[in-house]
């Protein structure tokens, strides 16, 4: 054909490969493919699940679908006698001796095929990391619809975030795996698609992370629970905080006011010996100017700490109360207008 351009075979081959990579494998085909995959170790499982896929999203889907479909929620976790009997009957396993905590727990979960949220999240993270995908486990507060009134506003759940398609995205393999029937205390396996790469604006409705950066929102909303109490991260229990004030999680104040927060420790000597938590290796690149970390003021009585925040012209929306470099309480600051100001 006149005017036609002849391309070398190597260029045509490269163009074909790029075209094939652009055609994402449908989720249903990935789900079907991983159904029969088996392996004895997390390392080998990660390879078998992801080796046939070219994109990180496809690999994440394969790992997520396998974990949510092959791990059963461990109802014995709530039965102390059953846990003790299982521990006495088990033999020491040195397969992953010397490995990280994530890898050791992941191996145990894979071996037993049972876990609670921590095990689901650690297995998922371990598989992703072996497959070369950036992944982090997030801890925080989670609630099912309708039960938040009676659920303590403390850290009670773990989930994950993965870095794919040039951004961090959220998912929860535990909640995707099924649900618990409360009146029979039985687990029903039933895959829930809605917890795979859930939009942050939807995820925040029932997943509230200890570190607000992992909401992946520039202005995280306050959950209804803040009306009853401030949010209490895991560190609140770690330091055995006896009491705190204010008792409600939303503090109303005007510009120029001094907000005072008070903590009482059960055992100040013990608390000072507890190691502070470590921040995650990977942090999202979301700018946060809406919170402030508040350290205690002059300490007269080590068991009773007072924190003060003078509300500036551009106040923070969140007050993180710090003890031993850990966030132990989080309040929401609501700014009220002084009478006669602002029309």
Query: Where exactly are the structural domains of the chain?
Result: 26-209, 225-335
Bigger pLDDT: 248 vs 6: 248
**Per-residue pLDDT, 288:** 55
The more confidently predicted of residues 17 and 274 is 274
Q: Which two tokens stand for residue 239?
A: 């330091």
Rounded Cα distance between 88 and 78, Å, is: 17
Is the pTM here over 0.85, yes or no? Answer: no
Q: Are 268 and 302 in contact (CB under 8 A)?
A: yes
Per the CB < 8 A criterion, the answer to whether 167 and 118 are in contact is: no
Q: Which residues contact 159 (CB under 8 A, 6 or more apart)?
A: 117, 121, 137, 138, 140, 142, 170, 171, 172, 173, 174, 175, 207
User: pLDDT value at position 13?
Assistant: 44
How many Cβ atoms are within 10 Å of 342's Cβ, its own excluded?
6
Taking the C-alpha atoms of residue 149 and residue 203, their distance in angstroms, rounded to an integer, is 19
At 253, list the tokens. Answer: 């104040």
Q: What is the mean pLDDT of the chain?
A: 84
CATH architecture under which domain 26-209 falls: Roll (3.10)
Residues 38-83 have pLDDT tens digits of 999 999 999 999 999 999 999 999 999 999 999 999 987 655 555 4
Residue 164 has pLDDT above 50, yes or no: yes
What confidence category does residue 321 fall into, taking pLDDT thresholds of 50, 70 and 90? very high
Mean pLDDT of 89-99: 62
Counting residues of the chain whose pLDDT is more than 70, the rounded percentage is 79
**Pairing status of strand 178-181 against strand 114-115:** unpaired
Count of residues in the chain: 343
User: Residue 302 — very low, low, confident or very high, per pLDDT cuts 50/70/90?
Assistant: confident
């Amino acid at each position: 054909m006149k005017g036609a351009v002849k391309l070398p075979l190597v260029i045509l081959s490269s163009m074909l490969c790029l075209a094939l990579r652009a055609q994402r494998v449908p989720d249903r085909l990935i789900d079907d493919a991983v159904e029969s995959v088996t392996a004895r170790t997390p390392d080998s499982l990660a390879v078998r699940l992801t080796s046939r896929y070219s994109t990180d999203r496809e690999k994440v889907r394969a790992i997520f679908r396998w974990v949510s479909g092959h791990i059963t929620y461990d109802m014995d976790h709530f039965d102390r006698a059953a846990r003790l009997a299982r521990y006495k009957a088990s033999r020491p396993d040195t397969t992953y001796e010397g490995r990280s905590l994530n890898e050791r727990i992941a191996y145990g979960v894979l071996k037993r095929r049972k876990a609670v949220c921590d095990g689901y999240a650690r297995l998922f993270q371990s598989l992703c990391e072996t497959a070369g995908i950036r992944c982090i486990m997030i801890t925080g507060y989670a609630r099912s619809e309708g039960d938040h009134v009676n659920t303590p506003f403390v850290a009670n759940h773990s989930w994950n975030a993965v870095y794919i398609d040039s951004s961090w995205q959220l998912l929860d393999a535990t909640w995707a795996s099924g649900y618990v029937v409360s009146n029979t205390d039985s687990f029903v396996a039933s895959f829930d698609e809605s917890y795979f790469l859930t939009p942050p604006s939807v995820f925040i409705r029932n997943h509230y992370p200890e570190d607000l950066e992992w909401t992946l929102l520039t202005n995280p909303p306050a959950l209804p629970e803040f009306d009853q109490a401030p949010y209490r991260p895991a560190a609140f229990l770690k330091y055995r905080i006896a009491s705190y004030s204010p008792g409600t999680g939303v503090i109303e104040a005007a510009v120029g006011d001094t907000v005072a927060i008070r903590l009482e420790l059960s055992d100040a000597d013990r608390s000072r010996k507890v190691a502070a938590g470590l921040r995650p290796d990977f942090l999202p690149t979301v700018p946060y100017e809406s919170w402030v970390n508040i350290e205690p003021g002059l300490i007269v009585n080590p068991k009773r700490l007072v924190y003060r925040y003078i509300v500036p012209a551009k106040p923070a929306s969140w007050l993180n109360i710090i003890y031993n470099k850990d966030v132990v309480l989080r309040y929401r600051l609501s700014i009220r207008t002084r009478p006669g100001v602002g029309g």
